[in-house]
Structure 1
Amino acid sequence: MKHLSNLAVGVLLMSGLSLAYAEHPPGCVDVTVGGFKAPDYNCLSQQMGNNPEGTAAAQKNQQAMNVPVNKRPPHQLGLATPAATSTRMGNTFGTSVKPQRPAPATATSPLLNGR
């Protein structure tokens, strides 16, 4: 009788362990092949995807992407900014309406030098 009760207790403990193991999925396994680690990306994706707050975060990200036009910065709308205009105008920014340009190159052909 004692042997039977020990067996029953062992079976109950094992079934309890298997249920506890089924509730918590095993951790991801990193495999090393030829000195390089190869993580299990499917396992990592599943762990990251089961976040109940993930849908709320995705919704907030979507709302942040949909900024009204009057709240967007000028460079996103294609408008001139002082920094872009300064870069385009060079050292003549604020002093001239003509942008700074390098002096025209006077190219001479090496074929015409022999005349």
Structure 2
Amino acid sequence: MKTRWRFTLGGLLLAALSSAYAEQPLGCVEVTVGGYKAPNYDCLSQQMGNNPEGAAAAQKNQQALNVPVNKRPPNQVGLATPAGTSTRMGNTFGTSVKPQRPAN
């Protein structure tokens, strides 16, 4: 009978402790030391990470980064563009095959 009583008390104690640890703090604590505020970054990260819309936003960001090569702008793929070639050639663009160089 005593062992059953001990197991029951142990189970109740374990349940009480686990529920105490499961509670999340309502707000983050900021500490001021010498006039400098130091926020609790772990708490802020948890608050930012528990956003249910965050997973959908992260998926949209990944989809935006994975644009097919044929839909990317030419300067991202490494192709020459008229604006880039004009900048490189200077005032000789369209009149010479040698780029403009400053006089020595």
TM-score, normalization by structure 1:
0.64
Report what 2:100 is aligned to. 100
Query: Does structure 1 residue 91 correspond to structure 2 residue 91?
Result: yes
The Cα of 1:24 is off from its aligned counterpart by 6.3
Aligned Cα RMSD in Å? 2.0
Letter in structure 1 aligned against 2:25:
P
Q: How many residues align?
A: 84
Report what 1:69 is aligned to. 69
Report what 1:108 is aligned to. none
1:3-82 matches, within 5 Å, as 25-82=25-82
In structure 1, C-alpha distance between the alignment counterparts of 2:35 and 2:93, rounded to whole Å: 57
In structure 2, C-alpha distance between the alignment counterparts of 1:40 and 1:59, rounded to whole Å: 28
Q: Secondary structure at the match of 1:31?
A: strand
Letter in structure 2 aligned against 1:35:
G
In structure 2, C-alpha distance between the alignment counterparts of 1:82 and 1:35, rounded to whole Å: 55
In structure 2, C-alpha distance between the alignment counterparts of 1:82 and 1:29, rounded to whole Å: 55
In structure 1, C-alpha distance between the alignment counterparts of 2:60 and 2:45, rounded to whole Å: 21
Q: Which runs of 5+ in 2 are unaligned?
A: 1-21
TM-score, normalization by structure 2:
0.71
In structure 1, C-alpha distance between the alignment counterparts of 2:93 and 2:51, rounded to whole Å: 53
In structure 1, C-alpha distance between the alignment counterparts of 2:66 and 2:102, rounded to whole Å: 42
Larger gyration radius, structure 1 or structure 2: 1
Superimposed CA distance per residue, residues 84-104 of structure 1 (whole angstroms, 9 cap, x where no aligned partner): 11111011112222100123x
In structure 1, C-alpha distance between the alignment counterparts of 2:65 and 2:34, rounded to whole Å: 43
In structure 1, C-alpha distance between the alignment counterparts of 2:75 and 2:30, rounded to whole Å: 44
Report what 2:8 is aligned to. none
